[in-house]
Amino acid sequence: MLSPYDFPPLVGAELAIADAPGTRVPTVHAAAGLRESMHHVNAAPSVSYSITVRLEAPAGGAAVSHLTTSVEEADGLVIALDVTASGHERLQIDVTCAARDADHADEIVAVLRALPGVVIGKVSDRTFLMHLGGKIEMMAKHPIRNRDDLSMIYTPGVARVCLAIAKNPEDARRLTVKRNSVAVITDGSAVLGLGNIGPEAAMPVMEGKAALFKRFGEIDAWPLCLDTQDVDEIVSVVKAVAPGFAGINLEDISAPRCFEIEARLREALDIPVFHDDQHGTAIVVLSALINALRVVGKELDEVRVVMSGAGAAGTAIMKLLLDAGVGYIVAADINGVVHSGRTGMDAELAWIAEHTNPDGLSGTLAEAMVGADVFIGVSAPNIITAENVASMADKSIVFALANPEPEIHPAEATRHAAVVATGRSDFPNQINNVLAFPGVFRGLLDAQSRDITSEMLVAAARALAAVVTDSELNATYITPSVFNPDVHTAVAKAVRIAAGGPVELPTQTEPII
């Protein structure tokens, strides 16, 4: 019998303990609280919960086929099966499979362990493997091969460049990384659907954001996770680091503090400040709505929109829809419909009450939905029913965007709605911020914009919508794939032009000095 130690073990998340003393990195076993909150979310196996099981099995007979069959009978999905070592009587095999969640992954491992003759070795969580050591790095643009290179990249040659910038600070955009750099800033107070988990725990999300900036926008983005949730301190820190960046992307900062932080930074800085949770979401929602209305044959200025959720994303969506020409919006939150006669409203809710709900409706979300053309939810799971959707106008549109569980299951919504979208990747028409922010910032940087306006956001949304051609458009394809090569270039060009930049970028952007 082969020993598991005869071959190098698969490097698993559990091995990170040896790489980082004093830290604990889970393997298949997720933290209990996260596991409980996510347990019922993924109905189908997902690569985000995929594992690789290194095991030994008998070399003869149907042992290998039993591995695949057992995983499938446990409702898992076999992705790959690799023989990593072979002997006369035993095989060493890496079985890679997808599960619904962490508990399901444990169940699959238990099923494999129960097979006759199978010995389980290492079990590795593939998502944790991808995060070992972080997901991004800094790389030099020029090689440092000899003393000549060193003397130009660093001292003494760099001193002349410093003096040139000191004489004309605007040259920092030409002569440093500033021209293509964005700061991704969070305080960890509203990370994904996980809540206030702090700056360290927010780092994997911010690294991922930086990686997406690079992949889809060719932008150098740097995560800055701040160990403070004080508004004044956050504003002060961002102002202090701003000289090294051409743009600020605020991320996962809870409402209502995010409104004040963004407003104060926009007032204080001469570079664009963009809160992606607000404006990235709003751009993609507007884009998807434009295309959904193309499907059902309605116009922006004619439809009645009902929204659930008046936080950061909801407020930004409302404002952008109004700027784009939507004439009728009614918003509801946990306390019901927002209207001018309601008491106890903060400044943002008061703004919503003043600029929406022209008929002065009050009451519940369900009552507001009667006769509406569009429902947009950025609130909480399972708060509307198929009956609520049935009460809407003919050819209704439902965007149930709460994540990971939407306001209504898409299968229920499609019983009555003509077009349904969610925030999830396992259903058609995903409303995904990645469709917006790389192109938005690419356009801002190329235009050397000092700020960002609603006209730029609307231009981005219309450009994104136009990527879906008439021949492609249907009820289950109103948003393009994030991997569509036209998405980010189209958005970038629209924003660049709206920001006063050139229609076409020159092929040689810098003169020879």
Segment 294-307, tens digit of pLDDT: 999 999 999 999 99
Range from 29-38, 447-456, 486-495 carrying the lowest mean pLDDT: 29-38
Q: How confident is the model at residue 454, as a pLDDT?
A: 96
Burial class (CB within 10 angstroms; exposed 0-12, middle 13-18, buried 19+) of 48: middle
337 forms beta bridges with 332
Q: How confident is the model at residue 43 (pLDDT cuts 50, 70, 90)?
A: low
Q: Output the pLDDT for position 508.
A: 59
> Mean pLDDT across the chain, nearest whole number?
90
Tally of CB atoms within 10 A around 216:
23
pLDDT band at 60 (very low <50, low <70, confident <90, very high): confident
Least confident window among 62-71, 103-112, 126-135, 502-511 = 502-511
CA 139 to chain centre: 24
Helix H, strand E, coil C: the string for 316-340 is HHHHHHHHHCCCEEEEEECCEECCC
SS3 category, 78: strand
> What is the average per-residue pLDDT within 227-254?
97
In this structure, of 54-68, 167-181, 385-399, 404-418, the range with the lowest mean pLDDT score is: 54-68
Fold of 4-131: Alpha-Beta Plaits (3.30.70)
Report pLDDT for 510.
56
Span 115-134, pLDDT tens digits: 999 999 999 999 999 999 99
Other CB atoms within 10 A of residue 180 CB: 20
**Residue 56 burial class via C-beta count within 10 angstroms: exposed 0-12, middle 13-18, buried 19 and up:** buried
- What confidence score (pLDDT) does residue 403 get? 84
Q: Decide: helix, strand or coil at residue 475.
A: coil
- Judge whether 303 and 418 are in contact, CB under 8 Å: no
pLDDT of residue 398: 98
pLDDT of residue 349: 92
The pLDDT-based confidence of 20 (bands split at 50, 70, 90) is: very low
Question: Once rounded to an integer, what is the mean pLDDT over residues 326-348?
Answer: 93
- What whole-number distance in Å separates Cα of residue 74 and Cα of residue 486? 40
Catalytic annotation, residues: 154, 209
State the Cα–Cα distance between residues 435 and 464, nearest whole angstrom.
Answer: 8
Confidence of residue 507 (pLDDT cuts 50, 70, 90): confident
Please tell me the predicted confidence (pLDDT) of residue 461.
Answer: 98
Total length of the chain: 513
- Of the CATH numbers 3.40.50.10380, 3.40.50.2300, 3.40.50.300, 3.30.420.10, which one belongs to the domain with range 176-271? 3.40.50.10380
The yes-or-no answer to whether 4-131 and 176-271 have a common fold is no
Mean pLDDT along residues 395-422:
95
Query: Which pairs with CB-CB distance under 8 Å and at least 24 residues apart come from 193-197?
Result: 193/37, 193/403, 193/404, 194/34, 194/37, 196/229, 196/254
- Closest by CA to 8, choosing from 118, 87, 94, 128, is 94
How far, rounded to the nearest angstrom, does the alpha carbon of residue 465 sit from its chain's CA centroid?
A: 19
pLDDT (0 to 100) of residue 3: 36
Instruction: Pick the range with the lowest mean pLDDT from 32-46, 218-232, 385-399, 407-421.
Output: 32-46
Encode pLDDT of 342-355 as tens digits.
988 988 899 999 99
Helices (H), 114-198: 126-131, 147-153, 158-167, 172-175
pLDDT the model gives residue 31: 34
CA–CA distances in Å: residue 141 to residues 138, 153, 176, 441: 10, 10, 12, 21
pLDDT in tens, 436-478: 999 999 999 999 999 999 999 999 999 999 999 999 999 999 9
> What mean pLDDT comes out for the span 367-372?
97
CB 378 within 8 A of CB 282: no
HSE value, Cβ hemisphere, 13 Å, CA-based, for 187: 19
**Phi/psi class of residue 477: alpha, beta or left (left: φ > 0; alpha: ψ in -120 to 50)?**
beta
Q: pLDDT band at residue 160, thresholds of 50, 70 and 90? A: very high
Interstrand relation of 374-377 and 181-186 (parallel, antiparallel or unpaired)? unpaired
Question: Which pLDDT score is estimated for 63?
Answer: 83
Domain residue ranges in the chain:
4-131, 176-271, 278-513
Joined tokens for residue 107? 């169940």
Q: What is the CATH number of domain 278-513?
A: 3.40.50.720
Contact 389, 363 (CB under 8 A): no
Residue 41 banded pLDDT, cuts 50, 70, 90: very low
Q: What is the mean pLDDT of residues 280-290?
A: 97
- Number of Cβ atoms within 10 Å of the Cβ of 34: 15
Q: What is the pTM of this model?
A: 0.86
Q: Are 39 and 152 in contact (CB under 8 A)?
A: no
Q: What element of type H or E holds 17?
A: helix 16-19
Model pLDDT, residue 12: 37
